[in-house]
Structure 1
Amino acid sequence: MTGPLRIGFIPLVDAAALIVAVDKGFTSAEGLDVTLVREVSWSNVRDKLNIGLFDAAHLLAPVAIASSLGLGHVKVPIAAPFNLGINGNAITVSPALHAALMEEIEGGDRFDPMVTAKALARVVTKRKRAGAEPLTFGMTFPFSTHNYQLRFWMAAAGVDPDEDVRLVVLPPPYMVDSLASGHVDAFCVGAPWNSVAVDLGIGHILHFVSDILVRAAEKVLAVRQIWADKNPETVAALVRAAVKAAEFIEQPENRAEAARILAQPERIGVDAEVIQRTLDGRLKISPDGALRESGRYLLVGREEAGCPDPVQAAWLYAQMVRWGQTALSPEALKTAMGVFRPDLYDAAVGRSGQSGQAAGGSFSAFTGPAFNPADVAGYLASFEVARRGR
C-alpha cells in the first residue's frame, strides 16, 4: 500500500460514495489513510490530479476522457475504475423562463423533453424577433455531461446551443447565486444545487437528466494511469471501499445517516434533509412545494452503477466530436473507451466476466437513433444541429 492519500472532490451528492467511504471508515478498514480535499471548480480538481497533488479525485467523466486525449489542457492518461454516479443532474430554470416555457407548451407532457425543447425553440424565436438578449444557461465545464445534456436537449428541437442561446461555465456551488442575480436564466448541475434553488424560491426544476438520457455516467473515481499501474493494490482497496460505501448508501434505512455525513460543512454543507431527498429520488421541483419522484434520479450503487461502462465513455467521446471539441478517429475512440476500466473494478471485487456489459452496455436517450460505438460516424450523421469536425 502507498502512504497517506489526498483525494479531491466537489461538494455534490454524487461524491457520496467517496465521502461515506472515508467518514464511515470503509477506507481505513482497507488499510488506507485518506484525506478528502474540498474544491470549488473542476479545473482545480483536474489540474491537481494531473500534476500529482491529488492521488485520486471525484471527477467529471468527460474530463477523465478529455485529459486522456489531451483536449483542452495537457495530456495525462486517466483510469476510472469506479463510477461514482449514474444520472443525478437536473435542468433548473428561473421563474420567468419557466412561465414562458409553460406558456409555449402546445399539449403533451411537460416532463417530456421534446415537448419542452419545442417550447424553448418558440421562446428563442420570440426573443429574437423582439430583439432581446439570448437566454443564458449555466453548465459546469466545457467537457461535462451538463454541457452535452443541455446541448442534446436543445438541439432535438432545432435550437443551436452555439448560436441561439449562450452557454457559460460556472462552478457548481455558484449556480444558485448566479440564477438569483439574473446572470443566468437556467442551469444544469448536479444535486443538491437544483434543490437549493427551488427551496429558495428562485428556480423550477424543469427536467431530471434521466428524462433526457436513460442512463448517463456522471462522475468517476479517477486516478492517473501511471499511478494506477504503480499502485494496483491501493486502487483495488479504494474501489472496494467505494463499493461498500455505495451499498451502505443504497440501503433506505441508512439514508438519513448518509445525508448527515454529507451535510457536514467540510463536505457538501447544505441541509441534510435536502440531501436525503436527492438520495431518495424525491425532489421538490417548484417553489410551491410540488414533488416529483424518480427511481432513476441518481444511482449510486444499485443496478451495477459503480461498474464503469466503456459504452458510456464512447457516447461522451461522440459528444466531443459532435460539438467540435475534437475530430473523430478510431484511435481516439479506443483511448476514450479505455478510460473506463471495468477490469479494474472486477479485479477489486473479486469477480470475472463482462461486467461492463452487465452494467448497461448500451445507451439510450429520449430521441435520436440507437447509439452503437462501432459506428460513431453513422450516429453523428443523423443529427442536424452539430459542430462536427475541427
Structure 2
Amino acid sequence: MSAEVSVVPVGFLPLLDSALLVAAREVGFAAEEGIELVLVRENSWASIRDRLAVGHFAAAHMLAPMPIAFNLGLAPLAVRTIAPMALGLGGNAVTVSKSLWAEMSEEGARPDLDPASAGTALRKVLDRRNDETKLRFAVVHPHSSHNYELRYWLTACGIDPDREVELVVIPPPLMRDALAAGRIDGYCVGEPWNSSAAILGIGHIVTTKSRIWQSSPEKVLGVSEAWAMANPDTLDRLLRALYRAAKWCGDAANHAELAALLARAEYVNCPSEWLMPALTGQIQQGDGSIIAVADFFVPHDKGATFPWQSHALWFYSQMVRWGQVGASPKHELIARDSYRPDLYRRGLRSLGVALPGANAKVEGALTTAMPVGAAGASLVLGPDGFFDGKVFDPDHIVDYLAS
C-alpha cells in the first residue's frame, strides 16, 4: 500500500453520469485499489468549482469543458484543473414543453429524435411567432457541452442562439420544475432530468446529444493539478478503480442494480425508473412512444473514458466561436493540455486495457465503427459524426473557425 493519502473526497452532481463514481464506491472497485472514495453531492456546477478551488475536493465529476475554462481564466476562484479521464460519452438530450412540441409538430417535427427535422420545425415556429414572444431555453452552465451543443444545433438549423432565443442557466435538478412552471420553453440537460419530464407528462424529448454529435464527451474527472502532481500513485489507483467501474456500468446485466444505486437519496435521489431509459437506450419521448438509441449513454465502449485532446480543442473552438475567449496559439495550447491522456495511459497500463496510440483524432470523420491502433486490447471507435456532416480537424482550428 502506498504511503500517499488514500482518502479521496470527490464532488458530484445528481446525474446519471456520476455512475462511474458511484459504482467505484458502492461496488467496491475503489476499496480494492486502497482508496476510500468520499462522494459529496452538490447541486450546482459553481459549487463544484468553488469547493475544488478551496481544497475541499481532490477531484470532481465535472462538465467536460470546465477544466479548459478554468485554465483559460474564464471562471472566478478556479484552480488549474486537469482531466485525466472522461466519464462516458453521450447522456444528455433536448426537452421542450408540451405546448412548444405541439407547435413544432404542426410545422413538421417528427417524433424520431432527428435534430434536423426538429430544428427546421423550430425555425418555422420562430418565423410564425415573428419575435412577439422570444423562446427561452436553459442550459446547465455557460461552459458546458449542453450550451455548445444546443448552440451548434440551433445555428446549424438557421437559428441565431444569441438573437432569436434567450439562453439562461439553471442547475440540472431544477430544469424539469422550471419547465413545469412555465419559466422556460425547453432545456438541454443530462439524465434523468429529460426522462423524468417525459415520464411525468411535463415535456417532450426532441433530440439527443448522441444524435447531434455521436460519441461525444459529456463529463470528465476534473482533478486539481496540484493534487494530481503531489499524489501520482493515488491518482493512478483512482483511475484504475473508475475504469473498472466503467466496464461494470457498461454491462447490461448490471443496469438494474446500477439504477437502484443511483436512485438512492445520497446520489440522484429519484425513482430508478427514471434512470433506466438512458441505461437501456429505450428513450421515452413524452407522447407514449419509445425510441431505441443504443448510444444514448456509453460508459465504457468506444474509448469512452479516454480524454481525447481533440474533444478539448473542439470545446475551445466553441468558446472562441461564441466570444468567451480570444483565439490564440497560447489559448489553444492551454485547452489541449487541460486533457491528459498521458496520465490515463500511466494509470491504466498495468490493466492491459486498450490505450489509444494517438492523443487526438479528426472528430466527425468516422461514419461507421472502426478498429484503431491501440496498445493492449483492441479498440473500436465511432461512428462520431455531427448531424450536419461537418468535421473538426484539431490540426486546423483556424480554418474551422473561419468556416
Partner of 2:381: none
How many Å apart are 1:361 and its aligned residue?
A: 5.4
Q: How does 1:46-195 map to 2 (within 5 A)?
A: 46-105=49-108, 111-128=113-130, 131=132, 133-195=133-195
Q: How does 1:198-277 map to 2 (within 5 A)?
A: 198-277=198-277
Amino acid of the residue matched to residue 163 of structure 2? E
Q: Say if 1:156 and 1:116 are closer, same or farther in 2 by CA, change over 3 A.
A: same
Partner of 1:23: 26
Query: What is the TM-score when the length of structure 2 is the normalising length?
Result: 0.90
Residue segments in structure 2 that go unaligned for 5+ positions in a row: 365-384
How many Å apart are 1:362 and its aligned residue?
A: 2.6
Partner of 1:11: 14
- Could you tell me whether the CA contact under 8 Å between 2:50 and 2:78 is conserved in 1? no
How far apart in 1 are the matches of 2:308 and 2:77?
Answer: 25
Amino acid of the residue matched to residue 291 of structure 1? I
Give deviations 1:341-382, integer Å, cap 9, x for gaps: 111111111169962648965343111532111111211222
1:366 to 381, 384, 387: 387
Q: How does 1:283-362 map to 2 (within 5 A)?
A: 283-286=283-286, 288-350=287-349, 355=356, 357=358, 362=363
Q: Say if 1:323 and 1:16 are closer, same or farther in 2 by CA, change over 3 A.
A: same
Partner of 1:387: none
Partner of 2:368: none
Give deviations 1:263-297, integer Å, cap 9, x for gaps: 101101111122122111112112x3210111110
Q: Percent identity?
A: 41
How many Å apart are 1:251 and its aligned residue?
A: 1.2
Partner of 2:278: 278
- Could you tell me whether the CA contact under 8 Å between 1:310 and 1:356 is conserved in 2? no
SS in 1 for 2:317: helix
1:32 matches 2:35: yes
Count of residue pairs brought into register by the alignment? 378
- Could you tell me whether the CA contact under 8 Å between 2:85 and 2:340 is conserved in 1? yes
1:376 matches 2:397: yes
How many Å apart are 1:300 and its aligned residue?
A: 0.6
How far apart in 2 are the matches of 1:110 and 1:342?
Answer: 36
How far apart in 1 are the matches of 2:331 and 2:355?
Answer: 23
How far apart in 2 are the matches of 1:67 and 1:193?
Answer: 26
Give deviations 1:159-179, integer Å, cap 9, x for gaps: 111110000000000001000
Q: Say if 1:352 and 1:16 are closer, same or farther in 2 by CA, change over 3 A.
A: closer
Amino acid of the residue matched to residue 372 of structure 1? D
Give deviations 1:285-324, integer Å, cap 9, x for gaps: 12x3210111110111111101111101100000000000
How far apart in 2 are the matches of 1:118 and 1:273?
Answer: 32
Query: What is the TM-score when the length of structure 1 is the normalising length?
Result: 0.93
- Could you tell me whether the CA contact under 8 Å between 1:342 and 1:356 is conserved in 2? no
SS in 1 for 2:266: coil
How far apart in 1 are the matches of 2:217 and 2:340?
Answer: 13
Q: Say if 1:283 and 1:356 are closer, same or farther in 2 by CA, change over 3 A.
A: farther
Give deviations 1:217-249, integer Å, cap 9, x for gaps: 110011111111111111111110001111111
SS in 1 for 2:202: coil
- Could you tell me whether the CA contact under 8 Å between 2:52 and 2:79 is conserved in 1? no
Residue segments in structure 1 that go unaligned for 5+ positions in a row: 383-390
SS in 2 for 1:136: strand
How far apart in 1 are the matches of 2:399 and 2:116?
Answer: 22
Amino acid of the residue matched to residue 169 of structure 2? V
- Could you tell me whether the CA contact under 8 Å between 1:139 and 1:147 is conserved in 2? yes
How far apart in 2 are the matches of 1:224 and 1:200?
Answer: 39
Moved over 4 A (4+): 351-354, 358-361
How far apart in 2 are the matches of 1:257 and 1:251?
Answer: 11
How many Å apart are 1:75 and its aligned residue?
A: 5.0
Alignment root-mean-square deviation, CA: 1.8
How far apart in 1 are the matches of 2:346 and 2:278?
Answer: 31
- Could you tell me whether the CA contact under 8 Å between 2:111 and 2:206 is conserved in 1? no
How many Å apart are 1:73 and its aligned residue?
A: 2.1
Give deviations 1:102-133, integer Å, cap 9, x for gaps: 11128x8853322221211111122125x2x2
- Could you tell me whether the CA contact under 8 Å between 1:6 and 1:54 is conserved in 2? yes
- Could you tell me whether the CA contact under 8 Å between 2:136 and 2:186 is conserved in 1? yes
Partner of 1:386: none
How far apart in 1 are the matches of 2:138 and 2:319?
Answer: 18
How far apart in 1 are the matches of 2:312 and 2:91?
Answer: 17
SS in 2 for 1:314: helix
